[in-house]
Amino acid sequence: MCGITGYIGGREALPILIPSLKKLEYRGYDSAGVALSLGGGVWVRKTKGRISALEEKLGAEEGAGRGARAGIGHTRWATHGEPSDLNSHPHTDVSDRIAVVHNGIIENYLALKEWLRSRGVLFRSETDTEVIAHLVNYYGREAETNPGTGLGRPDLLGAVRRTLTRLEGSYALAIISADYPDCIIAARKDSPLIIGVGRGENLVASDVPAILAHTREVLFMEDGELAVLRADQVELFNAQGERVERRPSHVDWDAEAAEKGGFAHFMLKEIHDQPRALSDTLRPRLQWRKSGDDGEAAEIPADINFDEIALDASWARAERIIITACGTAWHAAMVGKYAFEELARLPVEADVASEFRYRNPILDRDDLVIVISQSGETADTLAAMRLAKKKGCRILALTNVVGSTLSREADLVLYTWAGPEIAVASTKAFTTQLMCLYLLALKLGRMRLCLDEAAYLRCLRVLSRIPAQAAELLSRQDVIQRFASRQFNKTKVFFMGRQYDYAVSLENALKLKEISYTHSEAFAAGELKHGPIALVDRSTLIVTAATRASLFDKIISNIKEVSSRGASTLVITWEGETAFAQAADEVFFIPKPAVSGEEEAEAAERPARLTECFSPILSVIPAQLFAYYCSLQRGNDPDKPRNLAKSVTVE
């Protein structure tokens, strides 16, 4: 996730672009840059670091950018290529006459890079974005030198259009060209982009807060649309190149709410970011094929491909996996333990990093050590990683932050493309960590022949539906909101479940305690009689995750045991499941993993065992919402819980 902005009009562009970028800093803050249409060329300044670092750089240059009436800007959250001056946006073509800012991921950038290299293009960055600047230049020049194409002189709009047909993945783009100083071209696919319509000036940005200081008239661009902004005009085109007429909407939002995408808190925004974050984490790693022989039918996933890590046969020979992490990331590790054991039949240890680092663990060179950290900077997690590395183990890092210490020191890195997580309580980092762990477990399971092809493909199809299912589930958040308004005063809230449902209960309990300050614990449901039941009385709420159909009877017994002692009960289970209707006070449904035909019929009975294992990605979401709404009901600020920091960089 990055923030992009652009301005064209009668005023100086730079003093407008910098404050606009600051309003987008929540979208990324590891580097920043601007490009201005100035003096017959594009003038670019960019730097690693926050926007304040860019300001310092500009401040040191007398008259920096003065006189430019058009420009684009970018604040980056690195995806491809670590944060550095060179990888910062804007990116330019070889002649430095075209500048591009981009938010999104170009999935086929490696192939495009090869294609451009074979035509003599030299690259200056490691980013996926740079290919766009070169492609626009390439097609512009082709038009210039081949009048036979019918395009005539360099045609920026035509060159951008042809470039877009080459891009796979997601993008929000703003492009300027020295040959067309009177316009900015903007385009979007699967990444947000809005246009602020002013008087004698127009703006483009990733999000509304960036333009609110100048106008409240907003054109929300639709997927596949392209726009040409001039000082006095905005032309909008659909994917077919046809003109689109749309009236701007008037936006009344207050600036602070707008920064959170209209949500009251970053945490709620990040909970709602999950469908997009899951899709960004999953889609680039899936290979797709047409489902029908005629090649016409819908695309279905066919394999998992980690471009970023060479998962060679030696991985399949690993005899043990050790996963280490802290807090929420450790809970992801616990889910991962069950997944690797079930799908790849590998023994797994999932250990909190602060224990692992001091217990002199028995490690073997053939062990695969997976280290999980959203920030990539947690002190205990880094120490655990260094210990395992010293003992000769291969380290695979799972992190959300490109360029973090963990990403630099690990042997291999798999990124969770969640985008910046601002709220202290982790939400989208957790579900995207799970997505990566499932992909790894499935790939290893297939390599180790623990999964036959049919089971493997079926799991991939189920995973590919999860982002949309998360969105569907979130559309029912009011049910959880109402539940929280009835239950927030409970003095004890316990979360229980078996297997995956136990692992997700650990996360559910942490979420509630850290932002609502309610005493909450998680336990394996089978442990109930070994102690926790002594705490159960009328002031207790028990939230049970129940997605393992073969264990439903046992879970029902557990629920009856706590209900008869006065506890209120909520069960989170599969849509359409009636097993808990009698036993539980309330039931919240998550979408079923069924994918089609025969499986639909099978799942109508009960979800099939193999695909049940993906439930934590969905079953955690109602608990995140519950924690959020309890926190609000109790008068807390969910984004800034007491005593906690986002990144724990000390022991």
Residues forming the site for ligand M6R (CB under 6 A):
326-329, 373-375, 378, 381, 424-426, 514, 644, 647-648
Torsion angles phi and psi, residue 68, rounded to 5: -80, 130
Please identify which of the residues 513, 554, 640, 646 carries the catalytic annotation. 646
CB of 498 to ligand M6R, least distance (A): 23
| 482: number of Cβ within 10 Å | 12
Residue whose CB is less far from ligand M6R, 202 or 375: 375
Q: Is 640 a catalytic residue?
A: no
Residue whose CB is less far from ligand M6R, 204 or 352: 352
CB of 338 to ligand M6R, least distance (A): 19
Please identify which of the residues 2, 393, 436, 630 carries the catalytic annotation. 2
Sequence-ordered list of residues with C-beta below 8 angstroms from that of 587, at least 6 positions apart, any chain: 570, 571, 572, 573, 577, 580, 581
| 417: number of Cβ within 10 Å | 25
CB of 623 to ligand M6R, least distance (A): 12
Residue whose CB is less far from ligand M6R, 457 or 648: 648
CB of 635 to ligand M6R, least distance (A): 20
Residue whose CB is less far from ligand M6R, 508 or 540: 508
65: left (phi over 0), alpha (psi -120 to 50) or beta: left
Q: Are 76 and 28 in contact (CB under 8 A)?
A: yes
**Which residue's beta carbon is nearest to the bound ligand M6R?**
327
CB of 520 to ligand M6R, least distance (A): 13
Q: What is the secondary structure of 135-194 as a DSSP string?
A: HHHHHHHHHHH-GGGS--S--HHHHHHHHHHH--B-EEEEEEETT-TT-EEEEEEBS--E
d(CA 238, CA 241): 5
CB of 353 to ligand M6R, least distance (A): 8
d(CA 464, CA 114): 29
Residue whose CB is less far from ligand M6R, 184 or 503: 503
389: left (phi over 0), alpha (psi -120 to 50) or beta: alpha
CB of 332 to ligand M6R, least distance (A): 9
Residue whose CB is less far from ligand M6R, 25 or 514: 514
Strand pairing category for 299-304 and 348-352 = unpaired
Q: Is 646 a catalytic residue?
A: yes
Residue whose CB is less far from ligand M6R, 130 or 514: 514
List of E strands, 488-637: 492-497, 519-524, 540-546, 568-574, 586-590
Instruction: Provide the Cα torsion 21, 26, 27, 31; round to 10°.
Output: 60
d(CA 632, CA 619): 21
Q: Are 191 and 106 in contact (CB under 8 A)?
A: no
Q: Which of 202, 209, 277 is nearest to 467 (CA)?
A: 277
Catalytic residues: 2, 646
